[in-house]
Structure 1
Amino acid sequence: MWSCNFGPMTRLLKSMWVAVCVGVVTWSPVAQSELQLQDVTTGLTVPWDLVWGPDNHIWCMEKTGRITRIHPDEGTVEEVHQIPGVYQSFDNSGAHAMMLHPDFPAQPYLYVNYTYSEFRGRLDKLTYSLSEGAVVASETLLDELPGNSSHNGSRLQEGPDGYMYFCTGDMYMAMIAQDVDNLGGKVLRMDWDGNPAPDNPFGNRVYSYGHRNPQGLTFSDSGQLYLSEHGPANDDEVNRIVAGGNYGWPHIEGFCDTPEEVSACDSLTQIPPIAAWTPTEAPCGMSYFNHPSIPEWESTLLLCFLKQQHLKVLHLDDAGESVELEEKMWEQEMGRLRDVLVAPNGRVFLATSNREINGWDFLAQDLDDRIVEVVNPDHDYDVLAPRPIREVFLEQVAAQTHVVNVVFPQPAHTDLSVLLDRELDEVSFRVFDTHGRQVMGADNMTLSVPGLLNVSVTQLASGMYVLRVATADGHTQALPLVVKRR
């Protein structure tokens, strides 16, 4: 990617200046926990995004589009879905971002961003079926995303305001980052169906703009949003994102520290980064950390690096508006680091990215990709026992006492569920159409979760039905059912 505002000498001077500044703020704490690295699972292919699920499993999406559910203690890998049609170029296109719906699995949706052709990307909403234990349906929310062999971004995050935040790259088309009517080079803010949040600053999906190639997105405990992004040959950045903010690309790279940039800053009201690095180090996934499991890391940003192959710990000031100190961890020990995940009990997981480098397999290290846990042996971690997804679902349903003996969701798309008024181990059921004809059913069906009937309705056409449930003691009840195919 070329830069629009620097000549070779200016770049050299800027590189020397920033290198000195970064050297000043680098810091190693006097008292550190004796942290250990432990493999969770191996044999992955460029695990791009890690998500902690309500089932206390690690949900992982690889660059290939494979989505897996990983037991954090045993390392077992369960494939949930393979996104069809993921386009992978010679460079970095592929599957890039994933998140679960905030009310998953009661709202059984996963959200994924990936490229499907050389120049196009999309955001899909996937439907997970409890009965199938896999993704069974897909709906495209955004299909007009520009794409390219690289600079696609991206990350997805749930905001404290209940909206979805989605960062995108400039797709090697630098000037679209300054166009608030184009979705490239932006942070987008949407509801869970992909619609613009009503109070967005430009009346569309755009929340902030002027981004080059965002690779990390995270919220702090206080609700501040941070983004990491790649610079060209200089000025990788971490930015604090505010509504309507212009972060400068391609007119400004890093801080306003050259005559050309000062002029641009005056006209653009650009928001400077809270950290920048020259030469570039390729920052990637990022998570906010604030847990006593590693005391010296409290109120920090954990940031993965690809080119320089380490984890940076960025210590924020009390307001969270600047980086006061930075600490470099495990340089060259695990290879390239793609993502970092912080579990609710303070466990930290890292994903490597060694199976290829910018799409070139022959440049890759002789290492498979893996998920590695950072462990503090002196900390007594709270137990978050991995659970079946059905158990989580039952817990969510039981919290809504008004749904006993009611079919939900209505309409049903792929599965229906009924929370019975007794914790039975088995029931029989029949489904009848509006002509009274039986269209499906089962006798003495064993319930995987006592008291919760869950049935796949993928074989039913859209329409109205009656669900009749019968227990072994002769009790029956008829419940209305609406099915709507997508």
Structure 2
Amino acid sequence: MKTAMNGWMMGCIACMACSSTVGTWAQTTLEVEVLAEDMTVPWDLVWGPDNHVWCMEKTGRITRTNPDTKVLEEVHALSGVYQSWDNSGAHAMALHPDFPRTPFIYVHYAYGEWRSRLSRLRYSIPQRRVVDEEVLIPDFRGNSSHNGSRLMEGPDGHLYMAMGDAYSKMNAQNLESLSGKILRMDWDGNAIPDNPYGNLIYSWGHRNPQGLVFSDAGQLYASEHGPATDDEVNLIQKGANYGWPLIEGPCDSPMEEALCDSLDARDPLASWSPTQAPCGMDYFDHPSIPEWENSLLLTFLKKQHLRILHLDETGTEVTHEDSILYNEYGRLRDVLVAPNGRVFVSTSNQEINGWNYLAAEEDDRILELVNPDFFYDALEPVNDLNEVFLTQLLETPQAEGKVFPQPAREGVSMFLSETVEQVDVYVYDMSGRMVVGAEPHALHGPGLLYVRLGALQTGLYVLEVRAENGERWTSTVLVKRD
């Protein structure tokens, strides 16, 4: 695979200040600004529906940062995260596509020396905190490293997950094991019926993939650590075998060519020797940096840079590569492209596996790469997730009297007439006894009522809502306590 520097790349200028130039191209000069600091290995960056940068650190700490004001809020701290001397810890995070209306945060983390799990956290809008953890897949094989991983929503609406081989390399070729695979599931952790092998497996033969992204055209790419040679970026295809551990990198030796034929193994889109430790990855196609349009942005740990892999029109070949941030901020763990073309990169210098000598006083950090000459579309950050929740609900076709969610835990919402401003709320148990009575409630938004039910026990209830103008709504409500 071709790996040449483009002629219009002018080089990188040292950058340690809050905002300074890091790269100049034919049309673009980039500067770096610090978004957040004093973090511990910010492993996974996710863009939220609140237009905040969400982050999960290796410790299990989850934060959201306003990209304009740079105010950071801690959302949750996972308990029981196992951090080895090497790389195990909290590894991947995704928000439900309908978050926060569907209030789930998905996380993958090690909980012991040899095990990891996929869980979903329930975020309570009224309480503004995580109130519950449900384990979806309890017992992935784990190790001190090689746990992967990444979580990514696919264009088909399903959840994709990259898993390492957990130092049991032959499991990557074992279709009974989930190690060394790309997985595809629904948002409850169940296999999709048309998966190629009748289980969660979507592709196999992977060593330690730590980057996963879809292009705008719907193509899936994964970055993968090699052993001593042949780091890889692969174009992932349904049911395909990517060769590990029988094949490393492209099929470029007589023995590997024979194996590739017998395994029907796929060659990588790009590979590098000796290894440079590729990690998080995102797809870029935005006029904010025109020279990067239709490219993969890939962070590197060992070689400490951000690499731009320029794709051809089909997305099946890398035409050339460029790199910036070489040795400027240490190890780079992840990269995130916002919908308006803003680019964020996280460092990974507070490692406990011998690399923490790189750590600066401010590490670890989330950085932003900025084109000062580009006018970025405004994506106004919403500091209160309740505002996002209300916006999602009010954009939904409404049916008066509809109550959700069912079952309820902390409370329920009901759609009412938009002309109503205040109502009285009554709740009855199944014996007819009033358990909540004559409580006046102001609406949360036009036609939207929220009722707290935190004091009620598990059971079936009747909710009655009365408006001053004589309108009345009733509905059964199922309350469930875990």
Using the size of structure 2 for normalisation, the TM-score is 0.91
Query: How has the CA–CA distance of structure 1 residues 232 and 108 changed in structure 2, closer, same or farther, with 3 Å as cutoff?
Result: same
Structure 2 match to 1:481: 477
Partner of 2:95: 100
Per the alignment, residue 325 of structure 1 pairs with 320
Partner of 1:274: 269
Inter-partner Cα distance in structure 2 for 1:437 and 1:58: 47
Which deviates further from its counterpart, 80-89 or 239-248?
80-89
Q: 1-side partners of 2:351 and 2:444: how far apart?
A: 41
Separation in structure 2 between the aligned mates of residue 75 and residue 328 of structure 1, nearest angstrom: 27
Q: Distance in 2 between matches of 1:330 and 1:211?
A: 28
Equivalent in 367, 370, 392 of residue 396 of structure 1: 392
Note the 1:40-189 alignment, pairs <5 A. 40-189=35-184
Q: Mean Cα displacement is larger for which, 405-414 or 247-256?
A: 405-414
Q: Alignment partner for residue 300 of structure 2, among 274, 299, 305?
A: 305
Are the aligned partners of 2:45 and 2:54 in contact in 1 as well (CA < 8 Å)? yes
Q: Answer yes or no: is the 8 Å Cα contact 1:28–1:327 preserved in 2.
A: no
CA shift, 1:472, in A, is 6.1
How far has the Cα of 1:220 moved from its partner?
A: 0.4
Relative to structure 1, the CA distance from residue 142 to residue 28 in structure 2 (aligned partners, 3 Å threshold; closer, same or farther) is farther
The structure richer in helix per residue is: 1
Q: Does 2:257 correspond to 1:227?
A: no
Alpha carbons of 1:361 and 1:397: their partners in 2 closer, same or farther (altered >3 Å)? same
Matched residue type, 1:351: S
Q: Distance in 2 between matches of 1:313 and 1:435?
A: 66
1:429-448 equivalent positions in 2, closer than 5 A:
429-440=425-436, 443-445=439-441
Shift of 1:364: 4.2
Match of residue 413 from structure 2 = 417
Partner letter of residue 433 of structure 1? Answer: D
Q: Cα deviations across residues 212-231 of structure 1 (Å, max 9, x unaligned)?
A: 01110000011000000100
Measured at CA, do residues 232 and 425 of structure 1 come closer, stay the same or move farther in structure 2, by a change above 3 Å?
Answer: farther
Distance 1:216 1:28, change over 3 A: farther
Per the alignment, residue 238 of structure 1 pairs with 233
| Compared CA separation, residues 92 and 433, structure 1 to 2 (3 A) | same
Contact 1:49/1:98 (CA < 8 Å) preserved in 2?
yes
Distance 1:266 1:124 in 2: 38
Q: Given that residues 154 and 214 in structure 1 are in contact (C-alpha distance below 8 angstroms), is that contact kept between their aligned partners in structure 2?
A: yes
Q: Are positions 1:339 and 2:334 aligned together?
A: yes
Seen in structure 2, the aligned counterparts of structure 1 residues 381 and 263 have a Cα distance that, compared at 3 Å, is same
Residue of structure 2 aligned with 1:251, choices 242, 246, 251: 246
* Pairs aligned (count): 466
Instruction: Choose the corresponding residue for 1:454, options 443, 450, 455.
Output: 450
- In structure 2, how many angstroms separate the alpha carbons of the residues matched to 1:198 and 1:129? 31
Cα 1:458/1:139, change in 2 over 3 Å: farther
Which one of 375, 395, 403 corresponds to residue 407 of structure 1?
403
How far has the Cα of 1:134 moved from its partner? Answer: 1.3
- Please report how far the alpha carbon of residue 79 of structure 1 lies from its aligned counterpart in structure 2 after TM superposition: 1.6
* Residues 263 and 365 of structure 1: CA distance in aligned 2, closer, same or farther (over 3 Å): farther
For normalisation by structure 1, the TM-score amounts to 0.91
Segments of 5+ residues of structure 2 without an aligned counterpart are 10-24
Q: Give the secondary structure class of the aligned counterpart of 1:39.
A: strand
1:463 aligned onto 2:459: yes
Q: Give me the whole-angstrom Cα distance separating, in 2, the residues matched to 1:200 and 1:237.
A: 24
Match 2:34 to one of 35, 39, 44? 39
Pick the aligned partner of 1:380 from 351, 363, 375.
375
Q: CA deviation at 1:420?
A: 2.9
Q: Equivalents in 2 of 1:242, 1:189: separation in Å? A: 12
Cα distance, 1:268 vs structure 2: 1.4
Tell me: CA distance 1:248–1:25, structure 2 relative to 1, closer, same or farther (3 Å): farther
Please state whether the residue corresponding to 1:369 is helix, strand or coil.
coil
Question: Once the 2 structures are TM-superposed, how far is the Cα of residue 27 of structure 1 from its aligned partner?
Answer: 5.4
Cα distance 1:35–1:25, how it changes in 2: closer, same or farther (>3 A)?
closer
Tell me whether 1:199 sits opposite 2:179 in the alignment: no
Change in Cα spacing, 1:125 to 1:200, as seen in structure 2 (3 Å) is same
SS at the partner of 2:393?
A: helix
Report the CA distance shift for 1:475/1:374 in structure 2 as closer, same or farther (over 3 A). same
Aligned-pair distance for 1:416?
1.4
Tell whether the 8 Å contact from 1:59 to 1:69 is kept in structure 2 after alignment: yes
Inter-partner Cα distance in structure 1 for 2:364 and 2:424: 46
